[in-house]
């Protein structure tokens, strides 16, 4: 954790669950508690809550491809995080970033299918390799229409939940993609660099 005032760094205090811990709704499908020695975090995001208690979402590659969910407590003298549960993503996805949605779900970017033997060739040819996935506790995972890009990387959502902003790492693009609109609207900005997280 970074102290903006003192510009000092310090590890965030994290509490992990015991072996017999059973995650509660909406994470009841989480197969097992997160093990500290298996945790391999990547992209992060926060859903702001009440009383200085917030939901911290972390892309994890260690032991399972998942979103690990923590309660981020800012009420004490120093921030702390407590593991709450996980959301395992469908097979054949390599996650990068996560964003909470205004209507309660989550969206993630999947850069590619790690089992794709033709991935290197697709990258060279500028073909689509990834996509955006949405998750809701009552619906599970669904692919977002029109979200297929070359190396989906960073992701953000407009405050009204109607537009995604997604970067394509290998494709060198920034995309504005409509959500819950038919037909899908998509605007592409070509870049001269490989864009990372948003």
pLDDT in tens, 22-52: 888 999 999 999 989 999 999 999 999 999 9
Mean pLDDT, residues 156-169: 97
Residue 162 · residue 178 · CB < 8 Å = yes
pLDDT in tens, 49-101: 999 999 999 999 999 999 999 999 999 889 999 999 999 999 999 999 999 99
Looking at per-residue pLDDT, the higher value among 197 and 73 belongs to 73
- pLDDT attached to residue 2: 84
Report the distance separating Cα 108 and Cα 125, nearest Å: 24
Report the distance separating Cα 17 and Cα 30, nearest Å: 12
Decide: helix, strand or coil at residue 38. Answer: helix
Tokens describing residue 41: 């975090």
Report the distance separating Cα 62 and Cα 130, nearest Å: 20
Decide: helix, strand or coil at residue 123. Answer: helix
Q: Give the C-alpha distances (Å, rounded to integers) separating 58 from 55, 190, 191.
A: 10, 29, 28
**Bridge partners, residue 41, by sequence:** 60
Residue 81 · residue 72 · CB < 8 Å = yes
Residue 17 has pLDDT above 90, yes or no: no
Domains for the chain: give ranges and CATH numbers.
Answer: 11-88 (no CATH), 89-198 (2.120.10.30)
Residue 171 · residue 149 · CB < 8 Å = yes
∠ CA 88-90-92, rounded to 5°: 125
- pLDDT attached to residue 22: 83
Residue 107 · residue 134 · CB < 8 Å = yes
Residue 19 has pLDDT above 80, yes or no: no
Residue 43 · residue 96 · CB < 8 Å = yes
Report the distance separating Cα 160 and Cα 98, nearest Å: 17
User: For a pLDDT cut of 70, what percent of the chain falls above it?
Assistant: 100
Radius of gyration from C-alpha coordinates of the chain: 18
- pLDDT attached to residue 95: 97
Mean pLDDT, residues 151-155: 96
- pLDDT attached to residue 58: 98
Which single residue is written with the structure tokens 């850069």?
A: 111
- pLDDT attached to residue 122: 92
- pLDDT attached to residue 21: 84
Considering the chain, what is the average pLDDT of its residues? 94
- pLDDT attached to residue 1: 81
Mean pLDDT, residues 107-125: 94
């Amino acid at each position: 954790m970074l102290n903006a005032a003192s510009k000092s760094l310090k590890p965030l205090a994290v509490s992990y669950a015991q072996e017999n811990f059973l995650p509660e709704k909406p994470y009841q499908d989480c197969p097992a508690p997160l093990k500290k020695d298996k945790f391999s975090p990547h992209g992060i995001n926060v859903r702001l809550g009440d009383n200085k208690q917030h939901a911290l979402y972390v892309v994890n590659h260690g032991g399972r491809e998942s979103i690990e969910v923590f309660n981020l407590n800012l009420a004490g003298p120093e921030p702390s995080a407590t593991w709450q549960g996980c959301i395992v993503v469908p097979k054949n996805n390599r996650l990068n970033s996560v964003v909470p949605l205004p209507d309660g779900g989550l969206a993630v970017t999947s850069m590619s299918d790690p089992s794709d033997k033709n991935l290197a060739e697709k990258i060279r040819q500028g073909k689509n390799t990834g996509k955006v996935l949405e998750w809701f506790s009552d619906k599970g995972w669904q692919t977002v229409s029109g979200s297929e890009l070359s190396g989906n990387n960073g992701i953000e959502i407009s405050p009204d939940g109607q537009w995604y902003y997604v970067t394509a790492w290998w494709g060198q693009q920034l995309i504005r993609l409509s959500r819950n609109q038919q037909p899908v609207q998509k605007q592409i900005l070509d870049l001269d660099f490989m864009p990372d997280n948003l």
